[in-house]
Amino acid sequence: MNQAAFTLRGRNPDVLSCIANLSNDEVFTPPEFANRMLDTLAEAWAADNNGSNIWADPSVRFLDPCTKSGVFLREITKRLIDGLEPQMPELQARVDHILTRQVFGIGITELTAMLARRSLYCSKHANGPHSITRGINSETGNVWFERVEHTWEKPNEKNKGKCIFCGASSSTLDRGDDRESHAYAFIHTDNIQERVSALFGGDMHFDVVIGNPPYQLDDGGHGTSAAPIYHKFVEQAKALDPRYLTMVIPSRWFAGGKGLDDFRKSMLEDDRLRSINDYLSAADVFPGVGLKGGVCYFLWDKDHPGDCRISTNFKDWPVSEATRPLLENGVEIFVRFNEGVSILKKVMKVETGQDETLVLPDDQRFDTMVSSRKPFGLTTTFKGKKTPKENDLKVYQNGGVGFTPRETIKAGLNYIDGWKVFTGRAAPGTGNRDTYPHKIISTPFIGEPASISSETYLCIGPFSEKEEAQSALSYLGCRLTRFLILLHKPSQDTTKRVYTFVPKQSWDRQWTDEELYEKYGLNDEEIAFVEKIVRPMDLDLFDKLKDD
């Protein structure tokens, strides 16, 4: 059987820039973005290896452990074909060497594995008549996929049977052989070295691990309630002990996210994380993808620890770059904006009188005034009575107001008879895209004595006088206040925790940004940055409250 001669045909357009995403798991990486990641890798390799060209090294081995479209494998191969030409002038021999010895992938589903083979070998079968390599005898080649099953824990009262490797629920993903299990081979093992050797044969060691892993478990959750899974790919990739690791993942790990505390801590304490390219809007990377909080790609460099180069990108804004520690002194999260670090330091210097820490004393922290989730024990779906009886409490609930007997409320009793401020748990929506400037929090409002709320709102207070509540309300309306909230806010969910960087004030005036800018000594550039990020809040709201 004669195989097709190898050619690199010009594609107009590139098919991998046109295909639609299959699901939340299968978000395809645009070729242009994949090449940005490869450029970053090549620059790091050259810096670490006396200017040498990674694409001219025939011994470097690459792995995409979560391949979907095969774009990383294809673009790596194209670069190696050019880079290895001087030492391997015969094209077919060069291609055979690359595709048999240097480039490897693990598909996340049967469909994406076939797609990756088509991208890499120009054939659904690596040994097919149209394949560009003559050095592979199997249909799958070096893009492996076989169905893997979850390993379920024994269910009990608290656990309905979850996978011990990924945490998937058996009630949604234990559904027979005819439907996708979403059990990814790369993370469903406690010995990744053995797994990789079993997949590809021999003592496999990869110099570079690169990819775009699944972001969340497809087990019934959605949005911020869906369980993240991308961090498990990162952790498993590190366990392979590559020289370099680069992946594109959601940016919400910077400050929080469901089940990500340990991952965030391990990443931020790892000085081998050498660069983070942060994109404030995921749509700038993955057009049409509704992923709040943006995405980033990082480069982990095993043998060259140091500070991290941070690059922040958003639409046509100038790119912000700085090299700095991932963890500022006393802070548990990554401060996302380079400009935000200097602003935060100025605020903390005034409040604490110290340069060494960015942590406020408990008695100066605004978050000590903010309720936890379900401040009065009522769920989001709670609906009070339409008509009040004597001594009933007014309930601010999803969709309006209702009323409930006072004696039914067992939580948040300290707030009930004081003045307070309510603000929504979910930030204002902007469709499927992150846009700037935006409000950061939902418009807050005054809660009078004998009022409570459902889980739809957080409660701030209590205040003994209405004027104090109005002062706090004006403070939340200030752009600088909401910028400090944003620095600790990983997603639309606005919890008590996001107020960690916000200092208390004296509640004896109507606060303005001009007063706050002056108090904390912000310069013109810092003020301009805050106002580029944070939208003004409707000042008519305060006028209406004064007229009440």
Beta bridge partners of 62: 103, 208
pLDDT in tens, 181-225: 788 999 999 999 999 999 998 788 999 999 999 998 765 444 445
Q: Does the domain spanning 15-148+184-327 belong to CATH 3.40.50.2020?
A: no
Output the CA angle 163-167-173, nearest 5 degrees: 65
Answer yes or no: pTM beyond 0.85.
Answer: yes
Low-confidence ranges of the chain (pLDDT < 50): 1-6, 8-9, 220-224, 430-432, 542-548
CA distance 202 to 500: 51
Within 388-441, where are the H helices? Answer: 413-416
Q: Quick count: other Cβ atoms within 10 Å of Cβ 147?
A: 11
Q: Extract long-range pairs of 362-369: CB within 8 Å, 24+ residues apart.
A: 363/504, 364/503, 364/504, 365/499, 365/500, 365/502, 365/503, 365/504, 366/499, 366/502, 366/503, 366/504, 367/496, 367/497, 367/498, 367/499, 367/500, 367/502, 368/504, 369/460, 369/461, 369/472, 369/504
What is the rounded (10 degree) CA torsion for 333, 445, 389, 377?
Answer: 0
Task: Fill in the amino acid letter for 348.
Answer: M
Whether residue 462 is preceded by a cis peptide bond, meaning omega within 30 degrees of 0, is yes
What pLDDT shows up at residue 222? Answer: 43
CA distance 103 to 6: 17
What pLDDT shows up at residue 224? Answer: 45
- Asked whether the CA dihedral 270, 275, 279, 280 is positive or negative, the reply is positive
Structural element, H or E, at residue 394? strand 392-397
Half-sphere exposure of 500 (CA within 13 A, CB side): 17
- Give domain limits for the chain: 15-148+184-327, 352-547
CA distance 289 to 416: 42
Q: Quick count: other Cβ atoms within 10 Å of Cβ 527?
A: 16
What pLDDT shows up at residue 417? Answer: 96
Q: Is 403 helix (H, G, I), strand (E, B) or coil?
A: strand
What pLDDT shows up at residue 122? Answer: 93
CA distance 130 to 118: 10
- Asked whether the CA dihedral 360, 362, 367, 372 is positive or negative, the reply is positive
CB contact at 8 A, 211 and 106? no
What pLDDT shows up at residue 435? Answer: 79
pLDDT in tens, 490-527: 667 788 999 999 999 999 999 999 999 999 999 999 99
What pLDDT shows up at residue 547? Answer: 42
Q: How far is CA 526 from CA 211, 226, 346, 485, in A?
A: 36, 36, 11, 16
SS3 string of 176-190? CCCCCCCCCCCCCCC
Beta bridge partners of 169: 162
Please name the residues in contact with 424: beta carbons below 8 A apart, sequence gap of 6 or more: 441, 442, 443, 456, 457, 458, 494
CB contact at 8 A, 311 and 275? yes
Please name the residues in contact with 404: beta carbons below 8 A apart, sequence gap of 6 or more: 378, 384, 385, 392, 393, 395, 452
